[in-house]
Structure 1
Amino acid sequence: MPAFPYSTTYRGTSTATAVAVPPSLSLPVIEAVFPRRLHPYWPRLQDKTRAWLLEKRLMPAEKVAEYADGLCYTDLMAGYYLGAPDEVLQAIADFSAWFFVWDDRHDRDIVHGRTGAWQRLRSGLHRALDAPADHLHHEDPLVAGLADSVGRLFAFLPGTWNARFTRHFHEVIEAYDREFRNRVAARVPSVEEYLALRRLTFAHWIWTDLLELGAGRQLPDGVRKDPAFRRAALLSQEFAAWYNDLCSLPKEIAGDEVHNLGISLITHEHMTLEEAVDEIRRRVEDCIAEFLLVERDVLRLAECLDDGTVCGKEIGEAVRVCLGNMRNWFSSVYWFHHESGRYMVDSWDDRSTPPYVNNEAAGEK
C-alpha cells in the first residue's frame, strides 16, 4: 500500500500533511530512491496496540490517550514489515511499543538513580524471556508485557528461531545494563566501544530476526550468514541507529546523556558539535550508498537459491521479502524521526524530560 510521499495520512484525517525536515537532517536520496509504503493493516494496528498498552498497564491511560498515536510507534513497524500476516505484524508492533516503553523506563531509572529497581527489572526480563508463560501476570507490567509479546512472537516459527531470538535478546538486556552503568558513572564510551554497544542497544539482530517472521519462513543458517545478506541487514540497522543518534543529539545533550555517537566523537575525537554532526551524517549517507550496491548481490543470491525446486523457490522468495523490508527500514525510520513526538524536543516543557513518560518511581518497592 503506497503511503503519502512526505508524511503519514493520519492523526484521524485522510489528508496528507507535509512534514518539514530540517536541512541538517534532510536526506534527499531517501525521499527520492526509497519510496515509503505502509502495511494495509496499519489503521487497525494502531488501535490494537493502543489498547494493548492500556491492557498491559505499560503507559498510564492519560498518556496513552494524549501521546500514543503521535509517538507513531505502529507507523514505524507498519512501514517496515510489509507482507507480514496481520497477526504477525500485530505481535511485532506490540513488542516494538513495549521496547520503547522499556527504553523510557531504563532512562528514568538512570536519571533518578534507581539502581535497585533497574537490577530487579533486568533480572525479571531475563527470566520472562526464558519462560514467557510463567511471567504473564508478573507484578511489574514491563516483565509481564515482555512475556506476553515474546510468547506471541514464538508461535510463528520453529523452536530454533525462538532460541536464536532469545539468545539475541539476552544480549540486548545485558547491553542495556552496560549503558546503565556508563550513564550512572557519566562515562562516555570511546567511538569503537560505542559502535559495538550500539548494535546491541539498538537490537540490530532482533529486528533482523523478525524479518523472517514477516517473510513467514526461517532462513537456513547459510543464507542468513551469507556475507551479502548479512551486510545488507547490518547496513539497514546501522543507518537507523546512526540516524537516530543524529536526530536524538539535541535531546540527549539536554538530558546529560553519554550514549550517542556524536557525544563520543566530541569527547574522544575532540570534534566540535558541528564536526560531529557532519561525521554522523557522512556515516549515514555511506550506509545508504553501500546498501544500494550490496542489494544487487542479495538479489543475485535469491536468484541462485531459486533453483527450480519448491524449497529453493520458497527460500529465494523469502530472501527477496527480507531484502525488500530491509529497504523499507530506511524510509520508515527516516519519516518516523520527523513525525514522532518522541523527537520533538522543542515542544516539550522540559527538554530533558519527555512528556509521554511516567516520571514516577516505577519499579521501586
Structure 2
Amino acid sequence: MPAFPYSTTTTSTPTAVAVPPQLALPVIEAVFPRQLHAYWPQLQEKTRGWLLEKRLMPADKVEEHADGLCYTDLMAGYYIGAPDEVLQAIADYSAWFFVWDDRHDRDIVHGRPAAWRRLRSALHTALDSPREHLRHQDALVAGLADSVLRFYSFLSPAWNARFARHFHAVIEAYDREFHNRTEGVVPTVEEYLALRRLTFAHWIWTDLLEPSAGCELPDAVRKNPAYRRPALLSQEFAAWYNDLCSLPKELAGDEVHNLGISLVKHDGLTLEEAVREMRRRVEECVSEFLVAEQEGLRFADGLADGTVRGKELGAAVRDCLGNMRNWFSSVYWFHHESGRYMVDSWDDRSTPPYVDDEAAGEK
C-alpha cells in the first residue's frame, strides 16, 4: 500500500483525505509539496518487524494498527536523502518514541508512579550506556538502547554526547508532565511552550538532520540564527499543529498539556477562541519559516567559500533546510492519515485502540 496514493504535490488532484475545515491549511497543500523517501516500502516492513522483535507492541496490535498509524510515513516524508540505514534507525526510534509516549500516558491514567520512576531511571542509564541495556527486561529500555546504539555509529562522539544531552532533557520533561497530570496542574502558556519544546523533542529531530545529510555541523553553523531559526519554526509548527489536531483526544483523556488547554485556563479564552488562536500561531509559523528559509539559503551560499569544507557545509545546510521544509507537509498529512488522531472512530475516546494496558508498567 503506498504511503499516500492521493498526493496533493504539484497537481490539482483532490486529496482523498477529508481535512476538517478548522484544520485545513491551504498554504501547506499549495506551497509544501509532499515527498517520500524511496526506501519507504522496506522501511514500513522492517519497522513493523522491529516492533515485534523488540516486543514493543503485541503481535495483534502490530498486525491491526502499525501500518495505519503511519509512523514510518512521517519519517520517510521528512528525512529525504538520508542513507537507508540512517532512515531505518530514525523510523524505528520514532516508533519507539510513540510507544514510550503511550506508556507514559497509561502509567498516569492507571496511577503507576513507581513504574514510571523505574522507567525514567532506566532510560537515563540506557542512554549513556546502551550496549549494556540491549537485553533489559523492560522492552522500552532495550528498544531505546538499540536505537541510540545505531545512532551513535553515524557521526562523532561529540554528536553522540549532544544527542544524549538533548534526550536526557526530554526524559526529564516527560517527568514534569507526569507530575503535572497527576496533580492536575495546567501550565501557563509560556511554561507550556517551553515544556513543549522538550516533550516534542525539537532538538532531537533537528539533530537527526545531520546524519541524514551525512555531515556533522560545527557549533558556529548549527547555532547561527540563520540555521537555528528555521529549524525551530519547523518544529514549533509541528508541535502546535499536533496540539490543534489532538485537542479532542486530549480533552477526552483529561490531559493538561495542550496549547489550547493553557489558553483556556490561563488566558480566559473560550474553547472556540483558543482554537482560533492556535490556528493563528500555526499559520504564523508557516509564513515566518518561508522568510527564515530564504535567510538560511543565503547562509548556505555564504558557507560555500570555494574550499572543500565550505562546499561540504553549504551543501549540508541546504539539505537540512530542505528537510525542515519537508517536515511541514509530512506532519500535516500524518495528522489526517494516522489512526492515532481518529478519536471519533474509537470505542472509547479516552483509550486508544492501539495501546495494550496490560503490557505496560505494573500489572
Quickly name the TM-score band, shorter chain normalised.
over 0.9
Residue 75 of structure 1 aligns with which residue?
73
Shift of 1:228: 1.6
Q: Percent identity?
A: 78
| Alpha-carbon distance between aligned partners in 2 of 1:180 and 1:270, rounded to the nearest angstrom | 25
Residue 44 of structure 1 aligns with which residue?
42
The verdict on how the C-alpha distance between 1:329 and 1:323 changes in structure 2, with shifts beyond 3 A counting, is same
| Alpha-carbon distance between aligned partners in 1 of 2:134 and 2:201, rounded to the nearest angstrom | 23
Q: Is the 8 A contact 1:238 1:287 kept in 2?
A: yes
Residue 307 of structure 2 aligns with which residue?
309
Deviations 1:132-188 (A, max 9, x none): 000000000000000000100111000100000000000000000000000000110
The verdict on how the C-alpha distance between 1:308 and 1:5 changes in structure 2, with shifts beyond 3 A counting, is farther
Shift of 1:207: 0.2
Residue 34 of structure 1 aligns with which residue?
32
Q: Which amino acid aligns with 1:162?
A: N
Q: Is the 8 A contact 2:247 2:258 kept in 1?
A: yes
TM-score of the superposed pair, with normalisation by structure 1: 0.96
Residue 113 of structure 1 aligns with which residue?
111
Residue 259 of structure 1 aligns with which residue?
257
| Alpha-carbon distance between aligned partners in 1 of 2:161 and 2:213, rounded to the nearest angstrom | 18
The structure 2 residue matched to 1:232, chosen from 224, 230, 245, is 230
TM-score of the superposed pair, with normalisation by structure 2: 0.97
Q: How is 1:146-165 mapped onto 2 (pairs within 5 angstroms)?
A: 146-165=144-163
- Number of aligned pairs? 359
Residue 272 of structure 2 aligns with which residue?
274
| Alpha-carbon distance between aligned partners in 2 of 1:62 and 1:32, rounded to the nearest angstrom | 38
The structure 2 residue matched to 1:223, chosen from 217, 221, 224, is 221
For structure 2, the 5+ residue unaligned runs are none
Q: Is the 8 A contact 2:253 2:350 kept in 1?
A: yes
Residue 343 of structure 2 aligns with which residue?
345
Q: Is the 8 A contact 1:7 1:339 kept in 2?
A: no
Shift of 1:364: 1.8
Determine whether 1:241 maps to 2:227: no
Deviations 1:12-63 (A, max 9, x none): xxxx971010000000000000000000000000000000000000000000
Deviations 1:192-215 (A, max 9, x none): 000000000000000000000110
Shift of 1:68: 0.1
Q: Give the CA RMSD over aligned residues.
A: 1.6
The verdict on how the C-alpha distance between 1:2 and 1:49 changes in structure 2, with shifts beyond 3 A counting, is closer
Q: Secondary structure at the match of 2:358?
A: coil
Q: Is the 8 A contact 1:117 1:363 kept in 2?
A: yes
| Alpha-carbon distance between aligned partners in 1 of 2:188 and 2:87, rounded to the nearest angstrom | 37
| Alpha-carbon distance between aligned partners in 2 of 1:129 and 1:160, rounded to the nearest angstrom | 14
For structure 1, the 5+ residue unaligned runs are 9-15
Q: Which amino acid aligns with 1:37?
A: Q
The structure 1 residue matched to 2:360, chosen from 340, 359, 362, is 362
Shift of 1:2: 11
Determine whether 1:137 maps to 2:114: no
Determine whether 1:323 maps to 2:346: no
Shift of 1:65: 0.2
Q: Secondary structure at the match of 1:360?
A: helix
Shift of 1:361: 5.7
The verdict on how the C-alpha distance between 1:2 and 1:142 changes in structure 2, with shifts beyond 3 A counting, is closer
| Alpha-carbon distance between aligned partners in 2 of 1:225 and 1:106, rounded to the nearest angstrom | 32
Q: Which amino acid aligns with 1:226?
A: N
Deviations 1:248-284 (A, max 9, x none): 0000000011000000000001110100000000000
The verdict on how the C-alpha distance between 1:17 and 1:269 changes in structure 2, with shifts beyond 3 A counting, is closer
The verdict on how the C-alpha distance between 1:89 and 1:328 changes in structure 2, with shifts beyond 3 A counting, is same
Shift of 1:6: 3.5
Determine whether 1:98 maps to 2:96: yes
| Alpha-carbon distance between aligned partners in 1 of 2:194 and 2:312, rounded to the nearest angstrom | 34
Shift of 1:109: 0.3
Give 4+ residue runs of structure 1 displaced > 2 Å after superposition. 1-8
| Alpha-carbon distance between aligned partners in 1 of 2:60 and 2:241, rounded to the nearest angstrom | 30
Q: Which amino acid aligns with 2:223?
A: K
Shift of 1:3: 6.2
Q: Is the 8 A contact 1:3 1:36 kept in 2?
A: no
| Alpha-carbon distance between aligned partners in 1 of 2:8 and 2:286, rounded to the nearest angstrom | 21
Shift of 1:341: 0.1
